[in-house]
Structure formats: C-alpha cells, structure tokens
Amino acid sequence: MEPETHERKDARRNREAVIEAALAILPDDPNASMATIAERSGLGRTTVYRHFPARSDLILALFERVIEEAREVTSSVIEEGRPTTETLRALGPAIITIPDRFRFLHGVRELGEGVINRSTTDPNQPVRHFVEAAQHRGDIDPGLPTQWIVSTINALAIATATEMNEGRLSVDDAGRILGETMVRAFATRR
C-alpha cells in the first residue's frame, strides 16, 4: 500500500472541513448557500466545488455521515453485551439520536435513500451481526430472515424519526417507543 501523500491528506482534510461546516450551518439554515458553507469551512468556493460539484453531492456526503454515526452508535450499544431485549431497548434511544442530530436532512431524505438502502444490506453492519448472533442463541426468531429484520429496524427508525420530526413524538418518547417496538417485534423472550 502506498503511503498517503500530502496532497491526499489535504484533500481529505478539506472535504471534512466542508462537511463539518455544513453540519454547523444546515441545522439552523437548511437552505444555506454553498458559498456560505465554503466561507464557514475556511476554504474557497472552487475548493468546495472540487469536492462537491453540486449541492446534492454534499447532501449525499451528509447521508454517508449519518450511516457512519449510526454504525458508531449501534456498535457502542451492542458492545455493552447486555441481554438481547435490553440491547434492543437501548438501541431505540441510541438510534433516534441520529435523525435528531440530522433533522435538517428530513426534507431531502429521498436524496439519501440509496445510501441508506445500501447500508441495510451491508454484511458488516453491526445490527446485522447482533441480529444473527441473537438468532443463533434463539433470542430473536431464527425463522425470520435476517435481512428482513435489519430492513424492518431501518424502516421503524425512519417512521419513528418522521413522527419525531413532525412533532408528534418527543425525542425521549421516540427512542423509548422504537426500542420497545423492536423488542415486541423480534425478541422471543421479553
């Protein structure tokens, strides 16, 4: 493997600066211009457009960040090693922190559907490994297809986030309801 060049490090650092600037601005101003984001990042507009030729490219990168953070959050809960029902209950509030932090993407979620759908079929997804292990132990019904369970958890999370974003659920209620729904839907022992 080649060592990373200074140029690649700069490109990666610049890309990250743009993403961080977008994360700082877009929650309060979802329609902020790319120029505003460039200014906040400390980079010129040409550098920003080199990494993100269109606003939709930046939005896709933000959805990729959603997936990265979701992996980190779910891994953290799963690694605690609690019994299956407790883990499912804990995953609800943990998962719901992601759409709460990225609420500003709710209005453009169709742009991120491909990124989200790919994440549900990723064989290395932490929730998939958790479900497979729980099925092997008999804690989650082994007769249900693993992919269906993972896709259903994703769909439940999106539905719960929608209810939260529409003001029909508080963040706390959304997390609790999501966790309890997963227990009732999938756990063989409650």
* Amino acid 82: pLDDT: 96
Find out whether 101 and 161 touch, Cβ atoms under 8 Å: no
pLDDT of 135 higher than 60: yes
> Which residue's structure tokens are 């932490």?
126
pLDDT for 89-121, tens place per residue?
999 999 998 888 888 888 888 888 888 888 888
19-37 residues labelled b (16+ CB within 10 A) or e (exposed): bebbbebbeeeeebebeeb
Position 156 pLDDT exceeds 90: yes
Interatomic CA distance for residues 127 and 176, integer angstroms:
18
Tokens of 164: 């939260």
Tokens 């505003």 locate to 36
- pLDDT, the chain, mean: 91
Select the CATH number that applies to the domain covering 1-53 from these four: 1.25.40, 2.130.10, 1.10.10, 2.40.128: 1.10.10
Write the single-letter amino acid at 136: H
In whole angstroms, give the CA distance from residue 176 to residue 99.
14
**6 — pLDDT class (breaks 50, 70, 90):** low
Distances (CA, A) of 39 to 17, 35, 44: 11, 6, 7
Question: 């989200």: which residue's tokens?
Answer: 116
